[in-house]
Chains A and B, each alone.
Chain A
Amino acid sequence: MSRTAVIVFAIVVVLFAVSWVAKAVVLSDTSDSGTLDAFLVTVAAFLTLAIYSFLYKDNPYYKFAEHLFVGVSAAFWMCQGFWTTIVGNLLPRLSEGMANWFMQPYQPGGYDLGFLNLSYTVLYWIPVILGLLLLMRLSPKGGWLSRWPLALIIGTTAGLNFVRYLRSDFIVQVSSTFVPLLGQEPHQWQGIGAFFSNFSLDASGQFVALLANWVIFIGVFCGLVYFFFSKEHTGLFGRASRVGIWVLMITFGASFGYTVMGRISLLVGRLTFLFEDWLGLIT
C-alpha cells in the first residue's frame, strides 16, 4: 500500500469517525440507541459514497463495498431461500412433524382429480427428489442425473409460457389491432367537411383518436415486417421495414426518457439520505 493510500485511508477513517460521533450526539437527544443508530447511518453513508466513487475509477473503497455487498447478499438470499422455500413452502406440506419442528403451521391439502386424490405429502416429494438430483452434479459419476431436473424445469416452463405468450402476444395483439380507422362513437365519421369544420388537436378530439388508430395499425404492420427474417429487406418490403424501425426507435426514445426520470428519482432518494439522514443539512 502506497503512502498516499495510507494517508487517504486515515483521512477517510477520521472523517467518518467524527461523523459518527457528531451524529451520535444529535441522535442521543431523540433516541435511546443513538450511538448505534448513528453508527448504522454513518456506515450506510460510507457504503453509498464508496459505491459512488466508482464514477471516478475503480478503487479499494469500491472493491470493499462491492465484496461486502456481494457476500452479504449471497448469504442473505441463501438464508431467504432456505427459510421461505424449504421451511416456508416445502416442509409444512411434506410432514406435520417437520412443520412443528420448524414451528410452521402445518399445511395439509392436495389435488382432487375426481378419480385420484393426490395429497401434498406425496406430491411434494417430487420437487425434493428433483432438487436432490440437481445436487448430483457435485458427484463425478452421477453428474448426468442433474440434467433431468434441468430438462424438466426448462421444458415445463417453456411449454407453459408458449400458451401464455400465444394468448397475450398473438391473439390479444391481433384483436387489439382491429381499430376503427374512420372513427367510432363519439367520433363517428361524418364526411370530410365535418372533419375539417370540427378539427381540433384536443386529446379527446376526432383527429387525435383517428391518428392514434392509424399509428397503431401502421406501427404494428411495419414493425412486424421489420421482424420478418425470411425475406431480405429490399424494395417495398425494405421501406416498410424502415418505417417499422422508426416506429420502434421513437417508442424506445419515449421509453428511455420515461425510465431516466425514474432513475433520477432514485438518485434523489440517495441524495436525500446523504443530506438529510446523514449530514442533516436539509429537513
Chain B
Amino acid sequence: MRHLLKLVIVVVLLAWVSSPAQTDPPAEVDSVEVAEVTPPGPVTSLSVTDKDNDHGHATVLSWEASVDDSTGLANVISYEIFRWVPFAMDHVDSLRGQLSGLRAEIAAAEDVTDEMETRLDLLEAAFDAAIDNLPQAHGQYPQNGEWRSVGVVASGVTAYGNTGTKEPTSADYIPDYADLYYRVDAVTADPVVRTASEVYGPVQCYGQWFNTDRSPVLVAVLAFGFFTLLFVTLAKKGTDLYVRPLAGIEAVDDAIGRATEMGRPILYVLGLGSAADVATIASFTILGRVAKRVAEYQTALIVPTYEPIVMTVAQEVVKSSYLDAGRPDDFKEDTVFFVTQSQFAYVAAVNGIMLRELPATCIYMGKFFAESLILAETGALAGSIQIAGTDEIAQIPFFIVACDYTLIGEELYAASAYLGREPILLGSLKAQDYAKALVVAFSVIGLIFANLEWTWFVDLFHVAN
C-alpha cells in the first residue's frame, strides 16, 4: 500500500512538472517571441561628411545611438549602414565584368583578332561613358536606384567609414563629386525587426590637396628650411662655421698616404644603397675627396659598385675629382665598375678583389646590410687600414669591431660637410645641429608637460599616418 502511494505521488509530480511543455505548442512559442521583439528607436543626428585628408572616394558617418541601444528595450544588436545606389552602378558592374573577361580572353589568346580589339575598344568606351555618367545617375535620387547595405557595425558603435577605391575598375569604386545618400538601420536579433533612420544627403566625397593631420611636418620642414637657408647664407658670406674634428675623417688622409707609400691601391665601397639614399649621397662627397687626394698622390683607386646608377654617379664624381686635381688624363673609366646587383655575389667579388689586390686602405661608406661584417673581416685579413661609415644602425656594431675607424650614423653626413667645406653642406650640417638642439629643448619641455599631465603640448607632436 505504501509503495502504491509513493508511485501515485511520483506520477502526479511528473505529470505536474511536464505539464507546461505539453500545454504550450512550439508554434505558439515562436509567435510569442516574435511578438516580444518590438522595433527599436531609430538612430538620430545622422551626419555624413567627406573623409578628411584623403584622396577622395570615402565618407564618414556618425550618429547618436538608438535609445534602445544598451538602455530602454536594449534590443539593438547592430547597426546596418545603407547607401542609395543608382541602377546605373549595376550597368557599370556588368561592363566591368565583361571588360575583365575580354581582357583575360585576349591575354590568353595566341592570336588577337581585329574583332576582339574592336570589341575591346567599344567596351572600354562604354565603360568610360558609364563611369562619367555616375554623378548624373546619383543626382536622380530617389528614382532609378535602391538602398544597398555597405556595412554593419555592432551596437554601441556610432561611427562608420565608407571607404571605396579610386579605381573605376574595382567593385568598391565610389565616385567623387556624386550626390550620395545614407541611412542607418537599428537592427534587433530578428533582422526583420529594425528601424531606419532619416536619410542623410546629399553629400559628396572628394580628395584634399593638403593633409592637415601632417601640419607638424610642414612646420618642421619650414623650421629646418629656415635654419638651412640662414646657415648657408652665413657660410657663403665667409662666416667661420665650426665643425668638431671627426677621428674617422682625419684618418682618411693618413690612410691615403699609407697606400701611396706602400704602392698599393685604395678600395672604396659605396655599399648597397641606391643613388638616392642619403648615406650614398654623403658617400659620393667623401669619394670625391678621396679621389682628389688619390689623383694628387697618383695612387690606384678601386670602386666596385652594386648599382648601375650608383656606378654612373660615382664615375662622374671621380672624373670631376681628377679634373679638380689637375690630372684629368689619369682618370680611367675602369676605376669605377659595376659588379652585380646580387648582395652576396657582390660581397664574394669584393672579397676576392681584397685578397688579390691587397689594398692598403679599405673605405666603406654608405648603406650596408648583412655583408658589412664579411667585408670588414676580409679587409682585416688583407691587412688593410679600414674606415667605415653607415647610417644602418644594425650594421654599425660590425664595423666598430672590425674596422679601425667608424663613422656612426650622422657622423657620415657630417663627414661629407667637414671634408667638402662647401657652404651648402656646412650650412645644412649646422641646420641639423640646431634641429637637434630643438629636439632636446622640445623633449625637455614635453617631458615636463607630460609629467604635469598637460597634454596640449604633447598633442602638438601628434602626426597621423
A binds B: yes
B458 touches A147 (CB 8 A): no
User: In the bound complex, how far is the Cα of B346 from the Cα of A259, in angstroms?
Assistant: 21
> How far does the Cβ of B230 sit from chain A's closest Cβ, in whole Å?
13
Decide yes or no whether A31 CB sits under 8 A from chain B: no
Establish whether residues B345 and A69, one from each chain, have CB atoms under 8 Å apart when the complex forms. yes
- B124 and A224 contact, CB distance less than 8 A: no
Would you give the shortest CB distance from B212 to chain A, in whole angstroms? 14
For A137, the chain B residues whose CB sits under 8 A away are 312
Asked whether B439 lies within 8 Å of A54 as measured between CB atoms, the reply is no
A172 within 8 A of B: yes
Contacts of B119 in A (CB 8 A): none
Assembly CA distance A263 to B369 (angstroms): 12
Asked whether B439 lies within 8 Å of A175 as measured between CB atoms, the reply is no
B352 touches A177 (CB 8 A): no
Assuming A100-B106, A221-B443, is B409 touching A227 (CB within 8 A)?
yes
Binds A, one of B196-204, B290-298, B335-343: B335-343
Interface of B: prevailing SS: helix
- Contact status B351-A54, CB under 8 Å: yes
A to B contact number (C-beta, < 8 Å):
184
- Bound Cα distance A227, B206 (Å): 45
Cα distance A211–B345 when bound, in Å? 45
| CB-CB contacts below 8 Å: A128-160 with B | 134, 137, 146-147, 150, 153-154, 156-158
Identify the stretch in B2-10, B138-146, B390-398 within 8 Å (CB) of chain A at 4 or more residues: B390-398
A3-59 residues with Cβ-Cβ distance < 8 A to B are 51, 54, 57-58
Q: How far is the CB of B29 from chain A (nearest CB, A)?
A: 49
A62, A109, A171, A231 interface centre (most CB from chain B within 10 Å): A171
| C-alpha gap A96/B356 in the complex (Å) | 51
- Determine which of A65, A229, A252, A259 lies in contact with B243 in the assembled complex, contact meaning CB atoms within 8 Å: A229
Interface size class, chain B = 35 or more
> 1/0 contact trace for A52-82 toward B, CB 8 Å?
0010011000110110011011101100000
Interface residue? B262 (CB, 8 A): no
Task: From known contacts A58-B352, A69-B348, A252-B397, infer whether A150 and B312 are also in contact, taking CB-CB under 8 Å.
Answer: yes
Query: Is the Cβ of B446 less than 8 Å from the Cβ of A177?
Result: yes
Taking a contact as CB atoms under 8 Å apart, the answer to whether B244 and A158 are in contact is no
Q: Is A180 an interface residue (CB 8 A)?
A: yes
Minimal beta-carbon separation of A248 from chain B (angstroms): 7
- A122 in contact (CB, < 8 A): no
A108-B124, A231-B244 known; A253+B397 contact, CB < 8 A: yes
| B458 engages A178 (CB within 8 Å) | yes
Question: A178-B447, A179-B450, A233-B244 given as contacts; is B216 within 8 A of A171 (CB)?
Answer: yes
Encode contact with A along B448-465: 1 for CB under 8 Å, 0 otherwise.
Answer: 011100000010011100
Q: A63-B352, A171-B216, A228-B437 are in contact. Are A106 and B450 (CB under 8 A)?
A: no
Once bound together, how far apart are the Cα atoms of A166 and B214, in whole Å?
11
- The answer to whether A224 and B440 touch (CB under 8 A), given A166-B221, A230-B242, A259-B397, is yes
Residues on A with C-beta less than 8 A from B449 are 178
Q: Contact check, B340 vs A70: say whether CB atoms are below 8 A apart.
A: yes
Complex contact B214–A66 (CB within 8 A): no
> Quick check: B450 and A77 within 8 Å, CB to CB?
no
B238-267 contacts to A, CB under 8 A, are 241-244
B349 and A70 within 8 A (CB):
yes
| Distance in Å: Cβ of B418 to nearest Cβ of chain A | 8
Q: Report the separation of the CA atoms of residues A260 and B412 in the bound assembly, to the nearest whole angstrom.
A: 24
**How far is it, in angstroms, between the C-alpha of A161 and the C-alpha of B397 when the chains are bound?**
25
Q: Are B342 and A74 in contact (CB under 8 A)?
A: yes
Does A121 make an interface contact (CB < 8 A)?
A: no
* A-B contact sample (18 more), CB < 8 A, given A172-B463, A228-B433, A230-B243: A51-B348, A66-B349, A74-B345, A104-B107, A114-B207, A150-B275, A150-B309, A150-B312, A174-B443, A175-B461, A178-B446, A217-B447, A229-B429, A229-B433, A255-B396, A256-B398, A256-B401, A263-B373
Task: Sort A-B residue pairs by CB-CB distance and give the 9 closest, nearest first.
Answer: A157-B276, A73-B342, A175-B461, A256-B397, A73-B345, A252-B397, A178-B450, A178-B446, A74-B340
Show 12 A/B contacts (Cβ-Cβ < 8 Å), sorted by A. Answer: A65-B348, A66-B351, A70-B340, A74-B339, A100-B107, A150-B312, A150-B316, A154-B281, A158-B278, A232-B244, A255-B397, A259-B398
B residues lining the A interface (CB < 8 Å): 103-104, 106-107, 112, 120, 124, 166-167, 169, 206-207, 214, 216-217, 220-221, 224, 241-244, 274-278, 281, 309, 312-313, 316, 339-342, 344-346, 348-349, 351-352, 355-356, 370, 373, 393-394, 396-398, 400-401, 408-411, 414, 418, 429-430, 433, 435-437, 439-440, 442-444, 446-447, 449-451, 458, 461-463
